[in-house]
């Protein structure tokens, strides 16, 4: 029979992530909070979510830039 295991992963010097994998016949308690999350949103940079349209926020801060990729593809297929 499998038993639960506790795993830890060091993300940064100050932050460690811990998770538990339960065995086949083990289940979380009803009172156990399975999602532990921060009380406040922490971002690496300040984003004005109130006055900036969401599409602008998405493309400026989250979606990866594709600038210059056309030139790279053109160079790649130059010899074909």
**Domain segments of the chain as ranges:** 5-27+40-76
Q: Tell me what the pLDDT averaged over the chain comes to.
A: 83
The residues near 4 (Cβ < 8 Å, ≥ 6 apart) are: 20, 21, 22, 23, 26
pTM (predicted TM-score): 0.36
Q: Express each pLDDT in 62-80 by its tens digit.
A: 888 888 888 888 888 887 7
Return d(Cα 45, Cα 38) in angstroms, integer.
Answer: 17
Q: pLDDT by residue (tens digit) across 22-37?
A: 888 888 777 777 777 7
């Amino acid at each position: 029979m499998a038993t639960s295991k506790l795993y830890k992963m060091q993300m940064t010097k100050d932050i460690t992530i811990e998770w538990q994998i339960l065995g086949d016949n083990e289940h979380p308690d009803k009172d156990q909070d399975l999602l532990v999350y921060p009380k406040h949103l922490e971002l690496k940079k300040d984003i004005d979510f109130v006055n900036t349209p969401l599409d602008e926020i998405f493309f400026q801060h989250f979606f990866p830039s594709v600038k210059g990729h056309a030139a790279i593809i053109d160079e790649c297929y130059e010899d074909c």
